[in-house]
Structure 1
Amino acid sequence: MSLTFDRTDTSLLGRWWWTVDRWTLAALLLLMGIGCVLIITASPSVANRIGMETFGLVKRQLVWLPLALVVLFVASLATPRWVRRLSVVALLGSIFLLALTLVIGTEIKGATRWISFAGLSVQPAEFAKPFFAVTLAWVLATGKQEDFPGIMVASGLWLLVASLLALQPDVGQTAIITGIFLVQLFLAGLPMFWVLGLGIMAISAFMGAYFTMPHVTERVNAFLNPEAGDRYQIGRSLEAFMNGGLWGRGPGEGTIKQYLPDAHADFIFAVAGEELGLIACLIIVSLFAFIVLRGFARLLHEESLFVLLAATGLLVQFGFQALINMGSTLHLMPTKGMTLPFISYGGSSLVALALGMGMLLALTRRRAGTESEEP
């Protein structure tokens, strides 16, 4: 049986194959492959430290991976209309779960971000981000095309979601939500005065977090003044890059993962630096940059404001999250617990990112004009 499709093939898979951005899809799959390699090398040491079976974390991640692949593929088959419908309904569910997290969530390291049930732990914030980006795009696009207070509703949604995230507290996720909101407002044609005003308000909120949240104060002070706080993790992280050199010590040969508590998650880029080297790290960075820039290139001639805003929001989320993780690991910004998309350990993050990128592939497929014009 042939796995190739002729251009005249009008089946669902045939149309999908010839309209989806195969280069972006290939880059996403390559990131997943790199993530599998790094999880296999980084997580056994972590598992042993917390009393698990040596490959317990690896097995957990490999259970989530097939689901993520299915979610990525199925989401990429959707039309813009179905992407919008799914996101609006799912965002309401995500907001409910974010609120529920504050009541029955599991506290880990002083933050309440997880809901545990049936032996599984889910982080609602991971799913809220892509649904927020698409729903906000629909609200703003509708406000531009109809008699609808799009900016007011969008601002209310942002304030609600950002407040729930800040209460967990989760400053990193709040920053991503805020970044999506500001970029989409700018693209929707909001006067620069209002964009700057909202930006100043967001900066003021983060300054407030610095003065009222001790863990934020500690991390910012440690970044600005190395002598002011605990530099153990970031010191080990930078040591890993120095040990790795140009070509790395080889998969599984690194030692930093034995000391970094979050070597399989927040600091997995440091494991890549030590075991795979500078060249591999540059390839990883290039893959993230390629996906984001390729996505924007596909939108250059997009006529649907909804598609433009939604896809941009998803790209901002993806790129900003990668930037925060790698920047924290390299001590280019204060440390912040944030997964590296498709590479760090975490089932919620993996599936949510697959859903978001699947929706991006769906929105950037080449279609007849009538299929992508509706908001």
Structure 2
Amino acid sequence: MTLLSRADESLLARWWWTVDRKLLFILLSLLSAGLILSFGASTPVAERLHLPIFYFAKRQLVFLLAGIAIMIGVSLLSPRMIRRTGIIMFFISLILVMLTLIMGAEYNGAKRWISLGSLSLQPSEFLKPSFIILSAWLCAGAMNDQSFPGRRIALGLFILSAGLLVAQPDMGQTVLLGLIWSMQLVLAGLPLFWIGLLILGGCAGLALAYLLIPHVTSRIDRFFNPASGDTYQIDTALNAFRAGGLFGRGPGEGAVKKVLPDAHTDYIFAVAGEEFGTFACLIILGLFSAIVLRSLMRLTEEDDPFTILAVSGLIALFGLQAMINIGVNLALLPAKGMTLPFISYGGSSMLALTWGMGMVLALTRQNRFERRSSLGPGVWT
């Protein structure tokens, strides 16, 4: 890359000198850490299922390489192309989420996956970043043209998306999507009255979920009163952190991955704590924090509404999902099956999140002429 001159007008050269290389390096570092943890955490799971010992690790390597290719490829796109692909992907994802309710594979009482031969696709993972792009476009349009009902259209699409996620059921993804969309509305200048109604609506939705959905009731009850149900998974995860101490028991020496069925997905942070210790966990937290802060810092010089709303939403998705996963591992939040971005095993999650961060890299590129010319005179170009 050092051979690329600033005078070079090729697409790759312009990308290299305008992309946030520090953010790109941090993202690649987190992806590398995830691959290392995946090789250690997934081997006992493969053995229990009578699969080749590195079955999940090799698949994760394929997902990672494909994800890096997607992230870099998407980061080459203009804001106009980001917007168009995001909108198209939203409607494709919406249709696929509908199909999961009809022909989706059921796992633990939920229909969230579509089987594609030896692979499984979770459409809701792609619905989240694509909805963020569509919502940012609609809200930005309303900010530029007061007569355009962008917020009302976004509300209708959110209700449709949330309804489909609840039907799977997947309350965690529904709450996450609702939080991010609400944040976008606040950034878009939503009046305080409507913000208050949003808060009341969110609280009412959570209350109804607690009263009407048994597994939500069970998880919240166990969080506030562990004696009310089985807390084996979280107790085991906490014991893993205690056993790891400051420096860990050593790579491959952990016990939690041998007894937790979801050690390579939902509880991979506990594996990191046991084998590599508290310091390693703090480094992982530092990488997540650096990604969020670095991305938000790039927005301080930005005045385009679509870019601000889209990047803020995508970074909120990345950061909140990490916070929820880590919070569950540390018993700070009720149990929820949500992956740790770039760390947990899972093809849909890896590809969707790398696509999302590719869009962040594209929208935060420091190329003002390209950004304005790609947008044209307004967000509708």
User: Normalised by the shorter chain, which TM-score bucket?
Assistant: over 0.9
* Structure-2 separation of matches of 1:203 and 1:300: 32
1:36 equivalent to 2:35? Answer yes
Secondary structure of the structure 2 residue equivalent to 1:114? strand
* Structure-1 separation of matches of 2:359 and 2:206: 30
* Letter matched to residue 158 of structure 1: F
Partner of 1:65 in structure 2? 64
Secondary structure of the structure 1 residue equivalent to 2:301? coil
* Structure-2 separation of matches of 1:289 and 1:283: 10
Do the aligned residues in 2 keep the contact of 1:34 with 1:343 (CA within 8 Å)? yes
Deviating beyond 3 angstroms after TM superposition, the runs of 4 or more aligned structure 1 residues are 371-374
Secondary structure of the structure 2 residue equivalent to 1:276? helix
Which structure 2 residue ranges, 5 or more long, are not aligned? Answer: none
> For 1:272-294, what per-residue CA distance to the aligned partner results, in whole angstroms no more than 9, with x for missing partners?
00001101100101111111111
Partner of 1:164 in structure 2? 164
Partner of 1:309 in structure 2? 309
* Letter matched to residue 57 of structure 2: V
> For 1:222-277, what per-residue CA distance to the aligned partner results, in whole angstroms no more than 9, with x for missing partners?
11011111110000000000011101111111111101110000000000000011
Do the aligned residues in 2 keep the contact of 1:237 with 1:270 (CA within 8 Å)? yes
199-208 or 39-48, which moves further after superposition?
199-208
Shift of 1:118: 2.6
* Structure-1 separation of matches of 2:374 and 2:332: 40
4-13 or 120-129, which moves further after superposition?
4-13
Do the aligned residues in 2 keep the contact of 1:307 with 1:372 (CA within 8 Å)? no
Which structure 1 residue ranges, 5 or more long, are not aligned? Answer: none
* Letter matched to residue 25 of structure 2: A
Do the aligned residues in 2 keep the contact of 1:35 with 1:343 (CA within 8 Å)? yes
Partner of 1:272 in structure 2? 272
Partner of 1:348 in structure 2? 348
* Structure-2 separation of matches of 1:283 and 1:295: 18
* Structure-2 separation of matches of 1:290 and 1:3: 24
Shift of 1:151: 1.1
* Letter matched to residue 77 of structure 2: A
Pairing 1:203-242 to 2, within 5 Å after superposition: 203-242=203-242
> For 1:331-366, what per-residue CA distance to the aligned partner results, in whole angstroms no more than 9, with x for missing partners?
001010000000000011001100000001001101
1:94 equivalent to 2:104? Answer no
Q: TM-score, normalised by structure 1?
A: 0.98
Partner of 2:107 in structure 1? 108
Shift of 1:48: 1.3
Do the aligned residues in 2 keep the contact of 1:79 with 1:371 (CA within 8 Å)? no
* Structure-2 separation of matches of 1:349 and 1:265: 10
18-27 or 233-242, which moves further after superposition?
18-27
* Structure-1 separation of matches of 2:260 and 2:282: 22
Shift of 1:138: 0.1
* Structure-2 separation of matches of 1:7 and 1:46: 49
Pairing 1:1-375 to 2, within 5 Å after superposition: 3-146=2-145, 147-369=147-369, 370-371=372-373, 374-375=378-379
Shift of 1:195: 1.3
How many pairs are equivalent? 374
* Structure-2 separation of matches of 1:321 and 1:371: 34
* Structure-2 separation of matches of 1:279 and 1:115: 38
Do the aligned residues in 2 keep the contact of 1:251 with 1:276 (CA within 8 Å)? yes
Q: TM-score, normalised by structure 2?
A: 0.96
Do the aligned residues in 2 keep the contact of 1:248 with 1:278 (CA within 8 Å)? yes
* Structure-2 separation of matches of 1:289 and 1:63: 26
Secondary structure of the structure 2 residue equivalent to 1:299? helix
91-100 or 50-59, which moves further after superposition?
50-59
Shift of 1:212: 1.0
* Structure-2 separation of matches of 1:270 and 1:60: 21
Do the aligned residues in 2 keep the contact of 1:266 with 1:344 (CA within 8 Å)? yes
Shift of 1:372: 6.2
* Structure-2 separation of matches of 1:245 and 1:123: 35
Identical-residue share of aligned pairs (%)? 50
Do the aligned residues in 2 keep the contact of 1:304 with 1:372 (CA within 8 Å)? no
* Structure-2 separation of matches of 1:26 and 1:20: 11
* Letter matched to residue 362 of structure 2: A
